[in-house]
Amino acid sequence: MSVRQQGSSLVLEGDCPVEDAEMLADLLRDPSIDGIDWTGAQRIHTAVVQLAILARLPVAGPCGDGFVARWIEPYMVATSEGKG
Amino acid sequence: MSDLDEQFLSEARDLLAQAGEDLLALEREPASPERIDSLFRVLHTLKGSAGIMDLAPLGRLMHAAEDLLGAWRSGARAPSPALVDWLLAALDRTDGWLVDFEVTGRLRDEASDEAAALDARLAALCGKPQSGPAVEPPHWAATLLGSVDPAPKGPVLAVEYEPRARCFFDGDDPIDLLRSLPGLIALRVEAREPWPPLEEMDPFACNLRFRALVEGDSSEAQALFRFVADQVRIVPVEARRPPRPSPTHLDEAVIEEQRRLVDEVAADDEAVGRLASAARAAANVLRAFGKAEEAARIEAAGRAAVAAGTPAPLRAALDASGGQAWSLGSTALSTMALRVDPARVDALADLVGELIVAKNALAHLAAQRGKTADAPAVLRALEDQVAGLDRLTAGLQRAVLEIRMMSVGPVFRRFPRVIRDAGRSLGKEVTLILTGEDTELDKTTVEMLSEPLLHLVRNALDHGIETPSERVATGKPALGRIELRAVRSSDGVAIEIEDDGRGIDAEALRRTAIARGLLPPEAATSLSDEDALQLVFRPGLSTAAEVTDLSGRGVGMDAVRSAVEAAGGRVRLSSRPGRGTTCRLELPAGLLATRLLLVRVGEDRFGLPMDRTAETLRLPRSHVRPIQGGSAFVLRDRTVPLVQAADLLGRSHGAADGDPLVIVVAAAQGPVGLVVDAIEERLDAVVKRPEGLVATLPHLLGTTLRGDGQVLLVLDPEGLLA
C-alpha cells in the first residue's frame, strides 16, 4: 500500500500508481487530515500529484520523486501558504 | 449551420477516415499504387473543399501533404514511419479543425500557426531549411522566460501540454512524459478549469495544464509528444521577445494588455486583486467603445475568476473578445451523422401514407356517430380501425428504429491506428483482425461503444499481449493477435475483443477480492473460475496495488461495464491463462422494448428486466436456512443467498407468513434470490434512462410509462445486489 494515514497526516511511499488516486481522494476527504508527507515516495503518477495540488495542504518535502520535488513542489508550497 | 457547411463536414470526415485507412495500408504495403492514388484523391478533394469553404490553413496543410505524396508516387522520396507519422498528425489536426468548424463555424485563430508548424516539421523531416513566417510565441512564455536564471543561451521552445480529461484512462501519465523532456528549464503546472471541491473531484479526470520552456530543438520534443500531438503545442521562443504586431484599435490594445497581465497572474500570488482590476479595466474600455454586452461578460468572468482563484475564466473571456486567442482546440464530441438508405425512408413514407388513410377512416366513423342506428356495426368498424392502427404504429416504430441503425464500421476503423501507435510505444507487434464491420446497431449504441472498446483494446494490448521475446519463449508466434468482431446474436449484437496474450488468473482475482474485502473468503472460493473472472468489472478491485499483474486492468473495467449496461447490454469476460482473453459485449440491436416482470414490494410496484432474472419460484419456508446473519437456500446443489427486496429498497415488509416468493437474479457474483411480495404481470416497454430527480435514486435502470399513465420504476437487479 503506497498511501496511508499516520496521525493527521497522509504518507505517500514508494511508487504511487494511478490506482492510488482513488484511495488518496477518499483519505483527503477526512477533514482531520492536515498535511501530506511524500518524502518517501519514489515515482508518483500525475493523478496522485493532481490530488495533492488540489488539496492545498501543507506538504512535508522534499518529495522523494526528484522530478516532482524539482518542478512541482515549489508551486505547491506557494499555493498552500497563499491559501493558508 | 448551412447545408453547404453540413455537407462539407460530413464529406470531410469520410475523406479523413478513408485517408487514415489508406495511410495505414500503405505503411504495411508501401508500393500499393491503388492506395497511393486513393490517398492522393482524398487529399486533393480536401484541398479543393478548403478552397471553396475559404479555409486557408486547411488548404495549406493539404497542399503540403499532397506534395509529399507526389514525391512518394514519383519515387523521389520513400515512405518512412516518420513521414507516415507526419501525415497522421496532419489528419489529426484536420480532424480537430473540423470539430472547431462544427462548433463555431470557422477554424480556431491559431489554425494558420498550426499549419505552419506542421509545414516546418515536414520541412525538417525532409531536410529542407525552414521557411515561412515564424510562429508567434504564446504570451506566458515571456513571463516564464524571465524567471529562468541564468538566461538560456541557445534556442528555446515553449511547450504547452493540456492532457485530455480522460487521459489517465488511455494509460497516459503526463508528468511521466515530461520527465523525459530533454532540456527542461522551466515548468509551470496549473488547473485547466477552476478546481471543483475535493468532494466532487473525479480522481481519474485530469484537470492540469503544463507550460514548459525547453532548451533545444523541436524534433526531440515533437518525437516525445507524438502520441499526444493533439494535446501539445510547441512553438519556438526567441530569447528576446519580438514586439507583437500592434493592435489596430485602442480597445484591442487595452484588452491585449489585460490579457498579458492575466497571464502573469499565477494561481498562487496576489491573484485576486490583479484579476479584479484586469477585469475592471477591460470592461471599462469596452463600455467606452459602446460594447456594453461584452463588458458585462468580462465582468462576470472576472468575478468567476476571483471566486475560483484562477485566471482561467477571465482569460477565456478576454480571448473570446477578439484578437489572438490561445486555446488548445475544443474537446467537444462530434456526433456521427446518419446515412440513411433511401429505401428505408421510402418505407417510412409509405407507412405515413397508410396512417393518413387510417386517420381518414376514423374521421369517417366519427361522422357516422348519431347518423346511423347500427351502433354495433360502428363499434365493430372502430375495433377494426384500432387493430389497423396498432399494426401501423408498430410498423412505424420499426421503420424509425431501422433508420437509426448504423454499422459499427466507423468505430472499428479507428482501431488499426490505435493498435499501431500504442503497439509501437509499448514495443509490441500485433495484427488486428476486424470482422463484421457491417453489423448494424442503434446510433446511440454505436456512439457509446467507442470509449469502452478503446479501453478494452488498449487493455488487450497493454496487459494481454506479451512482448515478442516473452511470446517466443512460451512457444507463441512473436506477432500477437487481437481480434475485434461484431456478430449478430439471437437477441441483438455481440461484440468480442479477443487477444492471444497471457490471459487472466482467476485465482489471483479471488485473492484480491478477499484481500480488498469485496467478498467473504467462502463466497470467493465458491465462485467458479468463470464467475471469478467477472470480478474485474467490480468497482474497487483494481485499487489493489499489490496485484501488479492486474494493475490498470481495473481502472475503467467498471466504467466499461456501466457504459454497456446503460445501453441495455451486458459484458462478460472469459480467459484461459497463457492462451488469451475474450471480452464479450452483448448489446441490443435497436432501441427495442424490454420485457419487464412487474413485481410488488410492500405497497409499491417495480419493473425487473426479464433478461436479468433466471427464474421465479415459491420457496417452501422450511428450505430457508440461516447463514452468517442472513439466509440462503439450496438450488440444484448450489447455495443461493436470499435477500429481501423490501430491505434493499427501504420498504416495510409484507406479511411474513407463508412461503416466500423468490426471483433468482443472475448477478455478477452468482445467483441471488430476491424475495418479493407478489409477481403481477409481464409487459413490454421501452425503458428510458433515469433523468432529473429520478436519476438520483439508486439501483434504478430507468423508468417507463404503464398503460394507465403511471410511471413505473425499473430496477437494476445487479446494482441492487452489489
Tell me the average pLDDT across B564-586. Answer: 89
pLDDT for the residue numbered A50: 92
pLDDT value, residue B271: 61
**Residue B500: what pLDDT?**
94
Question: A75 to chain B: which residues are within 8 Å by CB?
Answer: 188-189, 268
- pLDDT greater than 90 at residue B18: no
Q: Are B165 and B205 in contact (CB under 8 A)?
A: yes
Q: Which residues of A touch B539 (CB under 8 A)?
A: none
Provide mean pLDDT across the span B504-532: 86
pLDDT of residue B270: 57
d(Cα B501, Cα B430) in Å, to the nearest integer? 10
B690 in reach of chain A (CB within 8 A): no
Query: Residue B133 pLDDT > 60, yes or no?
Result: no
User: How large a percentage of chain B has pLDDT more than 70?
Assistant: 83
Which residue among A17, A28, A54 places its CB closest to the CB of B545?
A: A17
Most trustworthy range by pLDDT among B303-307, B466-470, B540-544, B691-695: B466-470
DSSP tally for chain B: helices H, then strands E: 24, 22
CB-CB: which of A21, A45, A78 is closest to B268?
Answer: A78
With beta carbons under 8 A apart, name residues in chain B contacting A73.
none
Q: In Å, how far is B198's CA from the nearest CA of chain A?
A: 7
Give B131's contacts (C-beta < 8 A, 6+ positions apart).
Answer: B119, B120, B123
* Strand B661-667 versus strand B670-676 pairing type: antiparallel
**Chain B residues closer than 8 Å to A20 by CB:** 543, 545
pLDDT, position B422 = 79
pLDDT in tens, B170-204: 888 999 989 888 888 888 888 888 888 888 888 88
* Structure confidence at residue B286 (pLDDT): 66
pLDDT in tens, A25-84: 888 888 888 888 888 888 999 999 999 888 888 888 788 888 998 888 877 765 544 333
Comparing B587 with B318, the larger pLDDT belongs to: B587
Query: Would you state the pLDDT for residue B206?
Result: 92
Average pLDDT of B593-597? 77
Which burial class, exposed, middle or buried, applies to B323 when counting CB atoms under 10 A from its CB (0-12, 13-18, 19+)?
middle
Closest CB from A18, A29, A79 relative to B267: A79
Helix (H, G, I), strand (E, B) or coil at B436: coil
A77 and chain B in contact, CB less than 8 A: no
How confident is the model at residue B550, as a pLDDT? 35
Q: Over the stretch B100-120, which tens digit does the pLDDT of each residue have? A: 888 888 888 888 888 888 888
Indicate if the pLDDT at residue B615 is higher than 70.
yes
pLDDT confidence bin for B513, thresholds 50/70/90: confident
Using CA coordinates, name the residue in chain A closest to B174.
Answer: A46
Closest CB to A51 among B176, B178, B203? B203
Cell digits for B529?
473460475
Question: Contact B278/B289 with Cβ under 8 angstroms?
Answer: no
Model confidence pLDDT, tens digit, residues B31-54: 788 888 888 888 888 888 888 888
Say what the pLDDT of residue B291 is: 65
Which among B176, B189, B554 has CB closest to A75?
A: B189
- pLDDT 10s digits, B405-437: 888 888 888 888 888 877 877 888 899 999 998
**Do residue A44 and residue B175 have CB atoms under 8 angstroms apart?**
yes
**What grid cell was written down for B102?**
462544427
* Distance between B210 CA and the closest CA of chain A, angstroms: 10
Of A17, A49, A78, the CB nearest to B175: A49
Q: Is B41 exposed, middle or buried (0-12, 13-18, 19+ CB in 10 A)?
A: middle
A42 close to B (CB below 8 A): no
Q: Do B174 and A46 touch (CB under 8 A)?
A: yes
Q: For the residues B670-698, what does the mean pLDDT come to?
A: 78
Of A52-66, B64-78, B610-624, B654-668, minimum mean pLDDT range: B654-668
The secondary structure element, H or E, covering residue B219 is helix B218-224
CATH homologous superfamily of B407-504+553-587: Histidine kinase-like ATPase, C-terminal domain (3.30.565.10)
Which of B192-201, B457-466, B476-485, B655-664 has the weakest average pLDDT? B655-664
Confidence at residue B497, expressed as pLDDT on a 0 to 100 scale: 95
Please indicate if any CB of chain A lies within 8 Å of the CB of B216: no
Residues 6+ apart with CB under 8 A from B496: B483, B484, B485, B487, B582, B583, B584, B585
Å between A84 CA and nearest CA of chain B: 11
Cβ–Cβ under 8 Å, residues B185 and B148? yes
B3-125 classified as CATH 1.20.120.160: yes
pLDDT of residue B382: 85
Phi/psi of residue A19, nearest 5 degrees: -60, -25
Q: Residue B258, SS3?
A: helix
pLDDT top residue among B705 and B465: B465
**B266 pLDDT tier (thresholds 50, 70, 90):** low
pLDDT, greater one: B262 or A44 = A44
Q: What is the pLDDT at residue B210?
A: 92
From chain A, the residues in CB contact with B199 under 8 A are: 29
Name the phi and psi angles at B571, rounded to 5.
-135, 140
Chain B CB contacts of A22 below 8 Å: 203-204, 543
What is the reported pLDDT for B263? 66
Nearest to A67 among B179, B195, B555 (CB): B179
For residue A82, list chain B residues with Cβ-Cβ distance below 8 A: 268-269
pLDDT of residue B476: 92
Residue with cell 409477481: B679
B188 contacts in chain A (CB < 8 Å): 75
**Average pLDDT in the B147-152 region?**
76
Residues of B in contact with A68 (CB under 8 A): 175
Check CB contact under 8 Å for A29 and B179.
Answer: no
Q: How far is B214 from chain A (nearest CA, A)?
A: 13
pLDDT at residue B154 greater than cutoff 70: yes
Q: Which residue of A has its CA nearest to B205?
A: A47
Burial class (CB in 10 A: 0-12, 13-18, 19+), B18: middle
Q: Does A71 touch chain B if contact means CB atoms closer than 8 Å?
A: yes
Please determine, for residue B452, whether its predicted confidence score (pLDDT) is greater than 60: yes
Tell me whether residues A22 and B551 touch, CB distance under 8 A.
Answer: no
Contacts of B267 in chain A (CB under 8 A): 79
Q: Do B206 and A47 touch (CB under 8 A)?
A: yes
Length of chain A in residues, anyone?
84
Q: How many Cα atoms occupy the beta-carbon half-sphere of B375 within 13 Å?
A: 1
Q: In what order do the strands lie in the sheet with A3-6?
A: A3-6, A9-16, A35-44, A59-60
pLDDT at residue number B581: 94
Of the candidate CATH numbers 3.40.50, 3.30.70, 2.60.290, 1.10.150, the domain formed by B139-237 belongs to: 3.30.70
Using CB atoms within 10 A of its CB, is residue B708 exposed (0-12), middle (13-18) or buried (19+)?
Answer: exposed
Tracing cell 466499461 back to the chain, one arrives at B560
pLDDT of B273 reads: 67
Cβ proximity of B585 and B495 under 8 Å: yes
Q: Which of B159-163, B363-367, B384-388, B398-402 has the highest mean pLDDT?
A: B159-163
- Please, which pLDDT band fits residue B126 given cuts at 50, 70 and 90? confident
| Residue B267 confidence (pLDDT) above 60 | no
User: What fold is seen in the domain A3-83?
Assistant: Transcription Regulator spoIIAA (3.30.750)
- Which residues of chain A neighbour B187 with C-beta distances below 8 Å? 71-72
Residue B668 — pLDDT band, cuts 50, 70, 90?
low
Residue B494, pLDDT score = 92
Query: Cα–Cα distance between B541 and B512 in angstroms, integer?
Result: 7
- Cross-chain residue pair B268–A49, CB shorter than 8 Å: no
The answer to whether B546 contacts A1, with C-beta atoms less than 8 Å apart, is: yes
For residue B248, is pLDDT > 80?
Answer: no
Which of B306-320, B440-454, B470-484 has the least mean pLDDT?
B306-320
CB contact under 8 A, A46 and B168: yes
Average per-residue pLDDT in chain B?
A: 79
**Domain spans, chain B:** 3-125, 139-237, 250-320, 342-403, 407-504+553-587, 594-721
Instruction: Give me the phi and psi of B561, to 5 degrees please.
Output: -60, -45
* CATH dotted code for B594-721: 2.40.50.180
pTM above 0.90, yes or no: no
Please name the member of B174, B188, B198 whose beta carbon is closest to the beta carbon of A29.
B198
Give the per-residue pLDDT at B175.
92
User: Nearest-CA residue of chain A relative to B194?
Assistant: A54
